[in-house]
Amino acid sequence: MGLEHHGGIVLLALLCGIAALLALAPKIRIPYPILLVLGGLAAGFIPGIPDLQLPPELVLVILLPPLLYGAAFFTSLRDLRTNVRPIGLLATGLVLFTMVGVALVAHWIVHLPWAAAFMLGAIVSPTDPIAATAIAQRLGVPRRIVAILEGESLVNDATALVLYRVALGAVVSGSFSLWGAGLRFVVGAAGGVAIGLAVGWLVRQARLRLDDPPVEIAISLMTGYFAFLPAEALGVSGVLAAVTAGIYLGWHTPELTNAQVRLQGTAVWEIGTFVLNGVLFVLVGLQLPRILDNLNGVAWGTLVGYGAAISGTVVLVRMIWIFPAAYLPRFLFPRIRERDPYPPWQGPALIGWAGMRGAVSLAAALALPFTTDGGGIFPDRDLVIFLAFCVILVTLVGQGLSLPWVIRLLGFEHDDAPQREEAKARIRAAEAAIARLDELVPEGWVRDDTALRLRGSYEFRVSRFSARFDDGDDGGIEERSTAYQRLRRELLEAERAAIVELRREGVIGDDVMNPILRDLDLEETRLDA
């Protein structure tokens, strides 16, 4: 068998393994990044797996902009504003604290040079929101905790990667100036935000003038690059540019799009983010055996000890930081305490344990160059990547798998605030539709029977969602709604079967079948509303 055929079989087996892990994740109720990390690690040690090396200069440019832009785009600006103080303390103060703490341990215990030690600290300081928030939302953790975790993971990506650039520059150039690093940090952050706002405004103006879903979605997918690339070219933070553009356009998107663009665009983004995260986790697993080969001069016990020391430091400094950050501002400033009283200790404890590392740390580690400006070998590159992977493995797998147990141990009650907000919003929307119907009926083109049917539908919707706020409700309205939804699903399934049978008989083609099936699918998704 030729090498080409062998490589094809290996690739096929790898893809089948990834698909199996992704299919298994929801069944065993484990967030997919945890399984992908373990699967990539296992795949890297399978005999016959090719040695894969990625061009470091392309990793951040190709993989990070859409991930950062997408995360920012779907972040609630209201939640960011409401929780700006705790998010700021975590996303800036904790990032710096983590970087310094890891650098000290990496220099004193692992014996990394100071610049490489600080770079490792910057790599492992940002958190990943996927695993933590997926588990927290499923178990009904208070909404504010989920919002803080999501906001932290968004903003600390920017902070950590700006610091990463500063540390990387010190390693590559061989020189470091605290004043120069501080100036680059401030200028880079301010410039990144400015470029992000400018790009967001330009994209918004362009999309206001478009009415073509594929083109609009394509522009949405490229917007992260539109912000990231010019910012990097100008020497400012491409990360902050992509994040700023995402927040800006996420706020303004409802005025730029129609229902078709929103439905298709959301699906595309979910799939794209899913694939990019999967690629990152698997790539590190595939490269790990080569990294370990390059570290064959270091004993296994020593490597494990180094990994445990750095991972333990990451977990410990977060727990050390989290309680003073939660209670000290309230103690020192009565105004903060009056507006936002002391939280129960369980909240900070959960936030402290939910500091899992993931995609951004992976991308930053893989982006380390092979050589310095002087042409020498980048110092301790393989060791830094190995230690970053250890942190990801310990936090994502160890803390991620234990997080449901911690949530139950801390005794959180199920938070129904999001459901109550949704009910209020649906009531308001139905009332607005009834009011508009009353305005349109006198115009004469609305038939009386049509108006009567629609009014009854909207009034039932108001009654159904209002019942959720009535403690004395006997559940009769919800039972009627459930029975109606069951009947409609049965009928919609009969419609689908009839359409598919027509296609099977050759009466209609796929070009007719697919739009009809899509309409039936959309109608089914509306049933719970």
| pLDDT at position 218 | 92
How far is residue 502 CA from its own chain's centroid?
42
| pLDDT at position 3 | 47
| pLDDT at position 87 | 92
| Residues in contact with 204: Cβ distance below 8 Å, sequence separation at least 6, in sequence order | 248, 249, 252, 256
| pLDDT at position 180 | 62
Positions in the chain whose pLDDT score sits under 50: 1-3
With CA atoms as reference, report the closest residue to 64 among 165, 141, 132, 139: 165
Compute how many other C-beta atoms are within 10 angstroms of the C-beta atom of residue 95. Answer: 26
CB half-sphere exposure, 376, CA atoms < 13 A = 9
| pLDDT at position 513 | 83
Q: Please, what's the largest Cα pairwise distance for the chain?
A: 86
Q: What is the pTM of this model?
A: 0.80
| pLDDT at position 526 | 76
pLDDT tens column, 324-338: 999 999 999 989 888
Q: What is the DSSP-derived secondary structure letter of residue 467?
A: G
| pLDDT at position 1 | 45
Distance from C-alpha of 355 to C-alpha of 94, rounded to nearest angstrom: 11
